[in-house]
Structure 1
């Protein structure tokens, strides 16, 4: 079932800015002062990406707002489902994808990625005391995932597990609560937020795996090198002056920040094939 929130589209701009952004949303060389970029994002993945009082926010989106101010463009956030997000970036429907997108080799065939701005963990949330602490324990179990997410790929590699796909996080969480799923595969920060917001539901983290080799990054269309360069420049500046560290601490109360993203850190370079 489609979440009501995931159908909501909200417009948020970063204010009037004086610089020009060339080739945003295309590779034709078109440019314009204060150009507005359409950003595809999700509405139900706190603390990274979510809708609050009609405004898209979260770590990913607030970082992108900061980059926009630095680089001279505006952003319009539009709610979407993850399954079609990268294709919508590739075909120009969205200029940027902002959704805790892990930079896998398979995804690099569709879009180009900025350098990374976060690393995290994939975890399986289970009922409390289910004692499902390793991958083998999920043979014969039903695992819920957001369709086309890295967690979808992760779950598909668990031998004997039955993978059930949903359009958004809310739908999967609802099924876990009512007992029709044995596990719910999510980024750990998103799972933590749901546990914190639902203390009466007896849930816990089961099997967890780090994914530092595929950091989260913004997606842009292949060939849009001007936009890619501007986003990377903004990320580098936000790392250098401590903005990334500040935003991470604001939204991730319990998760540590990898040293590469601390103020003055080396960053998390991402290589795009053919770049």
Structure 2
């Protein structure tokens, strides 16, 4: 079941959809609307009513460098890329993996993180290999990369949710056998819920589709700004600093270390 906060944000998102993207502030800086999630720490989440997390703080830094401002709007992942493509949002910021299928809908900035996909289970379940999940119920956020991953787990029943909180609630009450999530998000939920006996059942590294910001294919100027600001943030160590702030144990990819070459993303036809 969705939290009250998520419901409020959904209503706010619907109302804000009537506002045109790319408005200007009194200071003259252009304000861009950013679609993001509310419940996926440490990457993207709400804290005391403010959108934060690694992805969103990095985007704030890039915006400052490139002369625009950002207005974050809570949304569900399943509709995020379509709403970037149709102009409801100027940018998508939600640890979005740069798959070839998604490149048909939007263009992506260069990558700012890599990670791992994991299946979280109840402690002691003994589900540590993919064949063990045949006949099991796997929860995922709808339209996520983890959704794609789960559909390829032979014999598993995939149960789709609009957000991470809803999936976690079902895992906690025992109606799911596994919860497929990015490992850093799963670790955060485990850390924040020590009374719930959970464990990592199966984990696989995902290096070929780094996370990136999404923009409409036609918005080449904004894409160039995002890449320019990201390159500067890598060069001066800002990406490394933010990564260390939000990811306490996960190593930073060498490409994103201070002065590193970055993680280039190709956008066919853009």
TM-score (norm: length of structure 2): 0.93
Alignment equivalent of 1:244, drawn from 229, 239, 260? 239
Q: How far off is 1:95 after superposition?
A: 0.2
| Aligned match of 2:221 | 226
Separation (CA, whole Å) in 1 of partners of 2:63 and 2:71: 11
SS of the residue corresponding to residue 159 of structure 1 reads: coil
Contact in 2 for aligned 1:240/1:265 (Cα 8 Å): yes
| Aligned match of 2:168 | 173
| Aligned match of 1:116 | 111
2:35 is aligned with 1:40:
yes
Separation (CA, whole Å) in 1 of partners of 2:39 and 2:97: 17
Alignment equivalent of 1:153, drawn from 148, 151, 159? 148
Gaps of 5+ in 2: 13-20
**How big is each residue's C-alpha offset from its partner over 1:167-214, in whole Å with a ceiling of 9 and x where there is no partner?**
000000000000000000000000000000011110000111111100
Q: How far off is 1:129 after superposition?
A: 1.0
Contact in 1 for aligned 2:22/2:31 (Cα 8 Å): no
Contact in 1 for aligned 2:22/2:30 (Cα 8 Å): no
2:268 is aligned with 1:265:
no
| Aligned match of 1:206 | 201
2:192 is aligned with 1:197:
yes
Q: How far off is 1:8 after superposition?
A: 4.3
**How big is each residue's C-alpha offset from its partner over 1:213-250, in whole Å with a ceiling of 9 and x where there is no partner?**
00000000011100000000000000000000000000
SS of the residue corresponding to residue 154 of structure 2 reads: coil
| Aligned match of 1:6 | 6
Q: How far off is 1:3 after superposition?
A: 3.0
Which is richer in helix?
Answer: 2
| Aligned match of 1:15 | none
Separation (CA, whole Å) in 1 of partners of 2:106 and 2:3: 26
Separation (CA, whole Å) in 2 of partners of 1:229 and 1:3: 37
Q: How far off is 1:25 after superposition?
A: 5.5
Separation (CA, whole Å) in 1 of partners of 2:110 and 2:62: 13
Q: How far off is 1:33 after superposition?
A: 4.2
Contact in 2 for aligned 1:128/1:204 (Cα 8 Å): yes
Contact in 2 for aligned 1:25/1:224 (Cα 8 Å): no
| Aligned match of 1:52 | 47
Gaps of 5+ in 1: 12-23, 27-31
- Number of equivalent positions: 258
RMSD: 1.7
**How big is each residue's C-alpha offset from its partner over 1:124-166, in whole Å with a ceiling of 9 and x where there is no partner?**
0000011111111100000000000000000000000000000
| Aligned match of 2:17 | none
SS of the residue corresponding to residue 250 of structure 2 reads: coil
Separation (CA, whole Å) in 2 of partners of 1:269 and 1:192: 27
Q: How far off is 1:7 after superposition?
A: 3.6
